[in-house]
Amino acid sequence: MLKLDGVVAGYDDVTCLHGVSLEVRRGEIVTLIGANGAGKSTTLKTVSGLLAPRAGIIEFDGQPIAGRSPDAIVALGLVQVPEGRRVFPELSVEENLRVGAYLVANRAKVRDMLADVYARFPRLAERRRQLAGTLSGGEQQMLAFGRAMMAQPKLLMLDEPSLGLAPRMVDEVMRSIRMFRESGVTIFLVEQNANLALRLADRAYVMETGQITMTGSGAQLLADARVRASYLGAKTTSETGVARGQ
């Protein structure tokens, strides 16, 4: 459904992505994990049209999308929820949701979509007239999810959705991501919380310094000693042996 092949991208004179190749198949949850500065968010920005690739191929649903405008890419059904949620604080919850449907001209359809979002996120229905800037961080994340759903995505790209949230709200984020997949939306998840991401993912990629260094199922990478040592805080066998020898 989404395919990157040899993508090179960066900012000004700095190259951040060095020949990135990956694939997200229809119906999957695929995650991209890595340390801060590895190039994860740059990958999403390049896919969504906010950053033009310098080389390589990006295809969505069989169509080349490299160089297209963000609006044109959203119209194809590829929608991103950015890091930090970025709701419009001076607009109400419902006004924020309606912004997500700016490409939908049919008012009756917009009403139906709103009803669906409110059914999925009852807290948003309770706060529909409340200013988005007064919501908690977790509620703003639910609003960002709801706004993205108003754009009727085929593939939803999520950039660090658990960032800054309390553990209870992290669980809610996980539930929401599973709910999206069950409703037929494909998920491409960028997440620094590797434990959360790998538990959710069908497949996963590890990115280091702008390159894909490992790939496998979520379960395989969750059990991999190198991944556990680098991203899950576990010690490798050799480290454990040294510690015991001391």
Summarize pLDDT for 38-87 with one digit per residue, the tens: 999 999 999 999 999 999 999 999 999 998 999 899 989 999 888 766 88
Give 28's pLDDT tier (boundaries 50, 70, 90): very high
% the chain with pLDDT above 70: 93
Quick one: pLDDT at residue 139? 87
- Checking if the pLDDT of 246 tops 60, the result is no
The pLDDT tens digits of the residues spanning 87-132 come to 889 999 999 999 888 777 788 888 888 998 998 888 899 999 999 9
Specify whether the CB–CB gap between 14 and 186 falls below 8 A. Answer: no
Q: Name the token pair of 21.
A: 């190749």
Q: What's the length of the chain?
A: 246
Q: Which residues pair with 57 in a beta bridge?
A: 5
- List phi, psi (to 5°) of 129: -100, 0
In the chain the first and final C-alpha atoms are separated, in Å, by 51
Other Cβ atoms less than 10 A from the Cβ of 220: the count is 14
Indicate the pLDDT class of residue 157, thresholds 50, 70 and 90.
very high
Q: Is 155 helix (H, G, I), strand (E, B) or coil?
A: strand
Instruction: Round to whole Å and give the CA distance between 70 and 78.
Output: 9
Distance between CA atoms of residues 78 and 60, nearest Å:
8
Of the candidates 16, 41, 67, 28, the one whose C-alpha atom is nearest the C-alpha of residue 188 is: 28
Region 2-237: CATH code: 3.40.50.300
